[in-house]
Amino acid sequence: MTKVAIVGLGYTPPRPLTPDVSYKEMIYEAAVKSYHDANLDSHRDIDGFVTCAEDLIEGTSIFDEYTPDQLGAVQKPMHTITGDTLHGLAAAVMNIQTGLMDIVVVESHSKASNIKTYPHIINYATDPILNRPLNFHPHTIAGLEMQNFLSHTKTTLEQCAAVVVKNKKNALKNDLSCYGARLTTREVLDSPLTFSPLTQLQMADHIDGAIVFVLASQKIAKKLSKKPIWIKGCGWISDSPTLETRNWNVCEYARLSAKMAYKQAKIKNPKTQIDFFEVDDTFSYKELQHLEAIGVYKEGTAGRACLNGDLDPDGKTPVNVSGGCLGVGSLLEASGALRTLEIIKQLRGEAGPRQLKKANTALALSWRGIPSTSGATIIFSRK
């Protein structure tokens, strides 16, 4: 199979509000930086483009219409993936592996601040006949899942709070973060109860921003970049969409998408073969649930590991050194892009004060959020 690398990245600094620029202008800024980073002579050298977006998040039906101009993609092969950035990256990898394209760009963004009725929008993703008439806030589903996770794995509330403490602390060293803080587990647990057992501080807040990556085939990647970061494996899986038939005890999208990626990347023992992890932490417990599902920790042990400091930047298995969604903020479908961005910086040795000593291979895991059971895993490597 053709090897594929990320050779360029560009982004706008994420902020909770971005009233000064339109989404097009925000994406343009990220694209110009990304193409420069990839040493492209011109945007005309790019063979294909992918945007990751959902209509109701944008507030525009057929949002695909408004994607080409700000990427220099006018009259080029371009399509939208209604998925997280990691899904978009997987699509770009496949485009290149067919041999049809050498350079493909993946864009994702969030203008979450422009959505005035976000809970209603998410509610439209629940079943219109069986769930919506019950009229519960969609985040209740996270409460249900967390309750089940705690009871099934014997993970404690304090362990979940420790995830928040760690990620918000990590975020203080990340100049992109919007929600870095020094907190104690007590403060996290004493914040207002939202969707029991979740408390306010255990839920990621939304931010605006755009991130653009340039991917290239092996042949081109080595010409363009001194530090290409290779995509060694990518997996994406969806479990049952209905609340009534999903297996609440097993996070199948994480387990199976990681399995798919491990197979491609020839990884037998993720804990020893992968140096650090950037996994979705939209809600505190999600980080622990994901780490257990992808086989880095056995069921019921990730929480203790977090409390012991094993997931810290200087621990055995650093997780969300970037600060994660809890510390940096959630970029909606571009959250996977934030995970990827941190990994590229670390693997290139450009992570500044957060730079890990050992950074050769890393794993990104994204989740499409409530009420979905869709997620994707990508494994990156310096070699």
> Which helix (H) or strand (E) is 31 found in, with range?
helix 23-37
Which residues, 154 to 193, sit near other proteins by CB under 8 A? none
Determine phi and psi for 352, rounding to 5 degrees: 55, -130
Of 95 and 153, nearer to other proteins (C-beta) is 95
Of 295 and 315, nearer to other proteins (C-beta) is 295
- Evaluated on CA atoms 184, 189, 190, 193, the torsion sign reads positive
Of 351 and 379, nearer to other proteins (C-beta) is 379
In 3D, which of 143, 48, 73, 63 has the Cα closest to residue 110? Answer: 63
Which residues, 9 to 28, sit near other proteins by CB under 8 A? 18-26, 28
* Contact assessment for residue 208 and residue 30, using Cβ atoms and an 8 Å cutoff: no
Per CB under 8 A, does 252 bind other proteins? yes
Which residues, 102 to 161, sit near other proteins by CB under 8 A? 111, 113-117, 120-122, 124-125, 127-129, 132-133
Among the candidate windows 191-199, 211-219, 237-245, 308-316, which touches other proteins by CB under 8 A? 237-245
Q: Tell me how far, at minimum, the Cβ of 284 lies from other proteins, in Å.
A: 23
Q: Tell me how far, at minimum, the Cβ of 15 lies from other proteins, in Å.
A: 12
* Single-letter amino acid code for the residue at 291: L
* Contact assessment for residue 317 and residue 327, using Cβ atoms and an 8 Å cutoff: no
Largest CA distance in the chain: 57
Of 69 and 190, nearer to other proteins (C-beta) is 69
The span from the CA of 175 to the CA of 195, in Å, is 30
Per CB under 8 A, does 97 bind other proteins? yes
Please work out, in degrees rounded to the nearest 5, the angle formed at the alpha carbon of residue 344 by the alpha carbons of 338 and 346: 105
Which residues, 259 to 298, sit near other proteins by CB under 8 A? 260
Q: Tell me how far, at minimum, the Cβ of 250 lies from other proteins, in Å.
A: 11
* Site size for other proteins (CB under 8 A): 86
Q: Tell me how far, at minimum, the Cβ of 128 lies from other proteins, in Å.
A: 6
State which of residues 39, 196, 242, 272 lies at the interface with other proteins (CB under 8 A): 242
Of 70 and 317, nearer to other proteins (C-beta) is 70
In 3D, which of 161, 167, 113 has the Cα closest to residue 328? Answer: 167
Structural tokens at position 345: 């910086």
Q: Tell me how far, at minimum, the Cβ of 315 lies from other proteins, in Å.
A: 32
Per CB under 8 A, does 72 bind other proteins? yes
Which residues, 197 to 236, sit near other proteins by CB under 8 A? 235-236
Q: Spell out, one character per residue from 27 to 56, where the chain touches other proteins: x when CB under 8 A holds, - when not.
A: -x--xx---------xx-----x----xxx
* Contact assessment for residue 303 and residue 22, using Cβ atoms and an 8 Å cutoff: no
Coil, helix or strand at residue 69 = helix
Determine phi and psi for 124, rounding to 5 degrees: -70, -5
CA distances from 100 to 94, 217, 316 (A): 10, 10, 41
